[in-house]
Structure 1
Amino acid sequence: MVRRAPAFVALVATILLASWAWAQPGTVIDVELRGTLSAGAVRDQTAGRFRNNGTEPLQVRSAVRSYVMRFETRDADGATTTALAHLFVPEQAVDAGTVLAFAPGSTGLVDACAPSRPYVQGGGLDTYGAYGLAYAGQGMPTVVPNYVGFFDPDAFQPYFVAAAEAHVVLDALRAASAALSALDEALTPVHAFAAGFSQGGHAVFATADRVADDAPDVPLAGVLGFGPSGEVDVVMRAFSHVAPWILFAYQHVYDGAIDAAALLQEPFSSRLANDVQRLCIAEAQAQYPRDPAALLEPALAASLLAGTLDDTHPVLAGLVRANQTGVREHGLPVIILQGVDDPVAPISDQHRFVARLCDQGSAVRYPNYLRTRHETRYIGFEEALGWMRSITAGEAAPSDCDTVPRE
């Protein structure tokens, strides 16, 4: 069952956190307890999602308190803004001292597409909220941030802009750590993990690239990617449905450096400004062709397929390069859980990305799942959980770097 919190509990929580309200990244603005889910309610919210993906769920180990939290973060250019996150706190914290941030996959650019929008409006958990709840049900405190630009009707998400994604993940970890410490000192994190699915994989590898310089106070212990889209040009080529969003975001974040509409074919070119305001991910997949040659202007489509973006579109190539991930020698342990038949993050491209991480000094665990496409969150759940627990226990991070296929 779900036990709803009395209104005064949320008010007390807000007052307790008011002492943190100095303006710096990761400051908690407010946190509201939305209810406590019994172990049975956690199972009811999550088990069907596992079974629908061909995986038997683990037995739930804890009831979970569900919070909605707002916190200070930064936009792509470092300007202060706010973001909203789910925070799931297990009542039996098997993994006390650990906090996991889970970054969502693509949902859209505008407020109506925010992953947490249904829950905030009184509905049920979305796919990412429910997935965070599953980790908390195993005893691991988990925060699921919404990207910058969501919950602001006048803004849009700076989509696949690495700095903005990294800021919100790092600041969500800071805010979650402060909230956990205030709720129970025993929950104070000494290990943090950043995990993400699809676009969320781009976000967490951007986080790893920036943590040493941007947030050395965050005790990041490892990075998890579920079908991660670490390379922007691969996304545009392999999952062209979202290419218009990337182009639109780069035009606006980078002060008109490119003309997004001019890089699309008609009728998509003239509709772009309207489409980004009304299409969330399901509608974008229905509206936009998957074949880049049917969506993008011919020279761009051909260049993406040939890998010649630097020659044909040097300005766009520079923006893509500025937002690639896995580009710094952070040395953090990594696990990438990859479907062999993934059409969004093709395995041949993922092999190259993993090899680069290995060459930069990371121990990379790289399980590949046969007969599996893009969705690896459920089939890889138990392995991901065990991988994090082995690292917090002080074990050496496992590595598949010696067996990664190389060109």
Structure 2
Amino acid sequence: TLPNTLAWRIIYTTQGPDGAAAVASGVVTIADSAKGTLPVISWANGTKGVTSQCALSMAANPYDDGPARARETMLADGWAIVATDYIGLGTAGPHPYLIPAAEANAVLDATLAARQLQDLGSHGVQLGDSSVVWGHSQGGHAALATAESALDYAPDLDILGVAAMAPATDLPNLAESVADTSAGNIISSYIAYSWNQLYPALGIEKRLTARSRMAVNQLSQNCFSGTGALTGLAQSSQLFEPIFTPAELDGQLHAVLLRNSSVMPVDYPVFIAQGAEDSLALSSTQREFFKRSCTSDVHAGYLEYAGLDHMPLVGTGSALNEDLVAYTRSLLDGIPDFPEDATLCKK
């Protein structure tokens, strides 16, 4: 656990992408000094992998992902953090990687399940109805999806707003833009491995070249953290062709990537934070997503952070930490306060 905190691993039921019952795991964290009714940060973590051993809750340091300074500030302020592993990480798979409905269900059901954790009562704590959804990368994709479905799926929760950090929004563009990079090959391998199981009609495995098929089988077994990430990047750098050919990205796969892309929620305030030098979730893609999503019924803010790549955006030195804390506190006060430099889209 983090210093001065208490944490529990939970196992809970949720729904998969087809609506069938599934089991997921996660982590609940509070400050050891917390008392009373706590608002909740519903944390959607970034890409960790697509096999069961890659669960955040089973990692040596489950808190190495995301805006650590902001998270520690919120815990000290008397918030709880509920982090899902998603389906298939820490539990039986397959993991529905970048499939929004399943991600959203996992986030919402983790928050609901955490309220039933009996140990909280022995510490003089209960989790309240109020929740703010945070997510980075895959988790940003999940956070936007969570806000899109929350009113229908979990009406007992009072979602106050969303912070999506470098979210994977436009999946066709993402798949195309990272096709020739080492990290992109890993992401593409995760998509291929997961979606081959979840969308058998696509016949993804049969469409891959022999070399790409071998790479998917190898890369998908690495977790995208710690030594697993280093191993994966080293292996990926030896692949001299993309996992998905341009023809595949223009075919049936394109339609499914498009279908699983993000939609801007209209029911809650949304803060999208983006590193200006992000080499994975490109800032040009995010600006276009925000621009086309900025309609009269959207209340959102968008801010790029100069000089920051994908992971440094949520790093210790990033100004995002202070902005995220201020924005989240403002949601609890009922008056969303976006960073001063943010581009606003206000209904």
Q: 1:77 aligns with which of 18, 29, 37?
A: 18
Q: Which amino acid aligns with 1:217?
A: D
The answer for the alignment partner of 1:336 in structure 2 is 272
Q: 1:401 to 1:124 in 2, by over 3 A?
A: closer
- In the superposition, the TM-score normalised over structure 2's length comes to 0.83
The answer for the alignment partner of 1:287 in structure 2 is 235
The answer for the alignment partner of 2:211 in structure 1 is 267
- Aligned-CA RMSD value: 3.0
Q: Does 1:258 align with 2:202?
A: yes
Q: 1:93 to 1:173 in 2, by over 3 A?
A: same
Q: How does 1:100-115 map to 2 (within 5 A)?
A: 100-115=41-56
Q: Contact 1:335/1:364 (CA < 8 Å) preserved in 2? A: yes
Q: Which amino acid aligns with 1:235?
A: L
Taking the aligned partners of 2:239 and 2:287, their CA distance within structure 1 comes to 23
Q: Contact 2:17/2:99 (CA < 8 Å) preserved in 1? A: yes
Q: Contact 2:35/2:125 (CA < 8 Å) preserved in 1? A: no
Q: Contact 2:42/2:134 (CA < 8 Å) preserved in 1? A: yes
Taking the aligned partners of 1:238 and 1:116, their CA distance within structure 2 comes to 31
Q: CA deviation at 1:126?
A: 4.5
Q: Contact 2:219/2:235 (CA < 8 Å) preserved in 1? A: no
Q: Which amino acid aligns with 2:274?
A: Q
| Structure 1 gaps, min length 5 | 1-36, 43-62
Q: 1:230 to 1:130 in 2, by over 3 A?
A: closer
Q: 2:300 aligns with which of 359, 364, 382?
A: 364
Taking the aligned partners of 2:294 and 2:90, their CA distance within structure 1 comes to 38
Identical amino acids, percent of aligned pairs: 24
Structure 1 or 2: larger strand share? 2
Q: Does 1:231 align with 2:231?
A: no
**1:279 is paired with a residue of what secondary structure?**
coil
| Structure 2 gaps, min length 5 | 179-183
Taking the aligned partners of 2:277 and 2:189, their CA distance within structure 1 comes to 24
**1:116 is paired with a residue of what secondary structure?**
helix
**1:366 is paired with a residue of what secondary structure?**
strand
The answer for the alignment partner of 2:323 in structure 1 is 383
**2:202 is paired with a residue of what secondary structure?**
coil
Q: CA deviation at 1:224?
A: 0.7
Q: Contact 1:136/1:142 (CA < 8 Å) preserved in 2? A: yes
Q: Does 1:171 align with 2:116?
A: no
Q: Which amino acid aligns with 2:7?
A: S
Taking the aligned partners of 1:189 and 1:358, their CA distance within structure 2 comes to 31
Q: Contact 1:100/1:140 (CA < 8 Å) preserved in 2? A: yes
The one of the two structures with greater contact order (alpha-carbon pairs below 8 A, sep at least 6) is 2
Output one character per residue of 1:69-110: Cα deviation in whole Å (capped at 9) or x when no partner: 221212221222221111111244499541011111111111
- In the superposition, the TM-score normalised over structure 1's length comes to 0.72
Q: 1:130 to 1:332 in 2, by over 3 A?
A: closer
Q: 1:345 to 1:90 in 2, by over 3 A?
A: same
Taking the aligned partners of 2:62 and 2:197, their CA distance within structure 1 comes to 31
